[in-house]
Amino acid sequence: MTIIGIDLGTTNSACGLWTDDGVTLIPNRLGEVLTPSVVGVDKNGEIIVGRTARQRLINHSDRTVAAFKRLMGTDHKVKLGKQTFTATELSSLVLRSLKEDAETFLGEPVTEAVISVPAYFNDNQRHATKLAAELAGLKVERLINEPTAAAIAYGLHEKQEGLFLILDLGGGTFDVSLLEFFDGIMEVHASAGDNFLGGEDFVDAMVDDVLREHRLRRDDLKPLTLQNLYLQMESAKRKLGPTDLVLTLDLGEKTVEHVVTADWFARISTPLLLRAKHPIERAIRDAGLHPSKIDDVVLVGGSTRLAIFRSTVGKMFGRLPSCHLDPDTVVAMGAAIQAGLMMRNEALDDVVLTDVCPYTLGTGVINEDNPRLGSYFLPIIERNCVVPVSIVKEICTAHDNQTELTIKVYQGENRLVEKNVYLGELSVQVPPAPRGEETVDVRYSYDMNGLLEVDVTVHSTGKTYNHLIEHTPGALSEADKQKALSKLSELKFHPRDGEDNRALLARGERLYESSLGDRRDYIADVMKQFERALERQNPAEIAKVQKQVKDVLAQLESEDWF
Ligand code: ADP
Ligand code: MG
């Protein structure tokens, strides 16, 4: 009986097995060891997984989905053509494809696996991963934390003890973990990261800069032309070394020659590299450590191939990080080694010490200046808070003589409430009064098992209301699910927004998503002003505010905030 090791990644997945000669990575049906974690449905309703699905992301975007790992453990459903899927179901389709490839490679059925998960995954997310495997016909012998898998691949568990920092920069996420190995147990200490920073941001920045240089907007390009531009930039990013690359770019109305130099790439990468520094500093600070106490810094994830990322990390620590293993398969290798150890009953114990809340939890508050834009998201528990955690925020009534106040609970990182995942709601009675006069305390308490308790206390009456949200798949009613679903499919932009304004709004949203605390509030204020100007539809004013917003965002993106 063979147990395979699987890295079920946000961008790419891979699998391997343990043999007498060490780890063998299993090629897929195209002969590649990486299978993009992308699922699509073709016009006949048939499922496509992997590279082919990835190629359809731009021109069949309504029938193709990537990065669904971010939604694991939620009830959020993704619509592909006429069908809808949960993240668990989508993951099971990727796992099934890996399982079939392993069976072809081995010439025998494969029914058991060790699967890696991010260290910050909570119980629900781990449960959802096991369920996905089950749906694919795989029994999960063990889940392994991704940083632990990387450490094992580097053989760090063969040392007596040690403190290791694992930096994992993938396609869209950056995870920082501090591991302590002692007495045969790998303990994952601090876990920090940026859920919205990865290799794709570098390509986005390259495309943006080229378009800016030629005074073009994304909308000016046909989808296929834009897709080609992305592919050319992705490939240039991977090839870039000390020698310049000369590219011929088709920009629709014209064809231009573009020289990709290390200097150009360094300039556009700077804001992203600054952002990457924050969680590294935070993980070390949270652990109360001096960087010199760390025995090894290990680089994981395809994007750590970027020379500029390696040198940034090298400068931070004053030494070279470990990166001699292939960074995009190192987690799969570690999972395969653990699978081998399992077969010999020698599996390594691996525990997470500080559990963190992986998403921001909050509620909706009325956008008073502009009710037409819907509600804003008020974060209550911010992502990466160590759990258990309990936080209170005060909110007030929005209308005169309002007698009922409904607290809707959402999970997500978006500034606009509708773009986050709805979890449930609680209504409380308040005495009639002029708007803003009645206030309530909203307390969110979140525990290790993903249980969210919402307590609301009405100040004037002293009455307390309580609601428990079992934040587990299946906990939402069918009606709630349908509501969340139709909201999602109704998402559309107001036609008055020009593409450049839309792009600027998106840039602000992205920055909001990747920020926390005061910085988040500041961005929300700036964006609110911008939306107000757009609403008034005065071109001169819009132009003026647009310039201000651009300056503010550029400033925020470039500054080292900690
Ligand atoms: P995930 O853990 O999110 O599944 P991976 O570890 O597979 O992701 O990393 C995928 C990312 O790695 C992509 O954004 C890809 O562009 C980037 N990448 C792969 N190879 C290279 C390279 N040679 N240089 C720079 N980036 C690379
Ligand atoms: Mg990964």
Pocket test for ligand 1, best of 12, 32, 117, 206 (most atoms within 8 A of CB): 12
Residue 451 has pLDDT above 60, yes or no: yes
Whether residues 457 and 544 fall in one domain: no
Residue 364 burial class via C-beta count within 10 angstroms: exposed 0-12, middle 13-18, buried 19 and up: buried
Please tell me which of 185-189, 291-295, 411-415 the model is most confident about, judged by mean pLDDT.
291-295
pLDDT digits (tens, 9 = 90+) for 23-67: 999 999 899 999 999 999 988 888 889 988 988 887 788 999 999
Residue 536 has pLDDT above 60, yes or no: yes
Whether residues 316 and 387 fall in one domain: no
On whether residue 214 sits in a domain, the answer given is no
- Ligand 2 ion: nearby residues, β-carbon < 5 Å: 9, 170
Whether residues 393 and 504 fall in one domain: no
pLDDT digits (tens, 9 = 90+) for 125-138: 888 899 899 889 99
The protein residue with its alpha carbon nearest to ligand 1, atom 12, reads 302
On whether residue 245 sits in a domain, the answer given is no
Q: Calculate how far, in angstroms, residue 345's C-alpha sits from the geometric centre of ligand 1.
A: 33
Strands laid side by side in the 296-300 sheet: 296-300, 162-169, 174-182, 185-194, 349-352
pLDDT digits (tens, 9 = 90+) for 407-448: 999 988 788 888 888 888 999 999 999 999 999 999 998 876
Three-point CA angle 282, 329, 193, nearest 5°: 15
State the residue range of the domain holding 550.
496-558
Whether residues 457 and 514 fall in one domain: no
Residue 287 has pLDDT above 80, yes or no: no
Whether residues 186 and 278 fall in one domain: yes
CATH of the domain at 88: 3.30.420.40
The protein residue with its alpha carbon nearest to ligand 1, atom 2, reads 170
On whether residue 83 sits in a domain, the answer given is yes
How many independent structural domains does the chain possess?
A: 3
Of 491, 510, 543, the residue that ends a domain is 491
CATH of the domain at 420: 2.60.34.10
Whether residues 169 and 318 fall in one domain: yes
Helix pair 539-558, 499-514: axis angle to 10 deg: 30
Q: Is the CB of 238 under 6 A from ligand 1?
A: yes
Whether residues 148 and 290 fall in one domain: yes
Q: Calculate how far, in angstroms, residue 49's C-alpha sits from the geometric centre of ligand 1.
A: 18
Of 460, 491, 522, the residue that ends a domain is 491
Of 491, 511, 535, the residue that ends a domain is 491
Whether residues 469 and 502 fall in one domain: no
Going by their DSSP bridges, the two strands 376-381 and 361-365 should be labelled as: antiparallel
3-state SS class at 453: strand
Average pLDDT over residues 555-559: 77
Whether residues 37 and 176 fall in one domain: yes
On whether residue 250 sits in a domain, the answer given is no
On whether residue 174 sits in a domain, the answer given is yes
Whether residues 482 and 507 fall in one domain: no
Please give the model's pTM, rounded to 2 decimal places: 0.73
Whether residues 314 and 401 fall in one domain: no
On whether residue 241 sits in a domain, the answer given is no
pLDDT band of 370, cuts 50, 70, 90: low
On whether residue 15 sits in a domain, the answer given is yes
- CB within 8 A of 72, min separation 6: which ones? 87, 88, 91, 121, 125, 128, 129, 132
Whether residues 66 and 177 fall in one domain: yes
On whether residue 223 sits in a domain, the answer given is no
Q: What's the mean pLDDT when you consider all of the chain?
A: 87
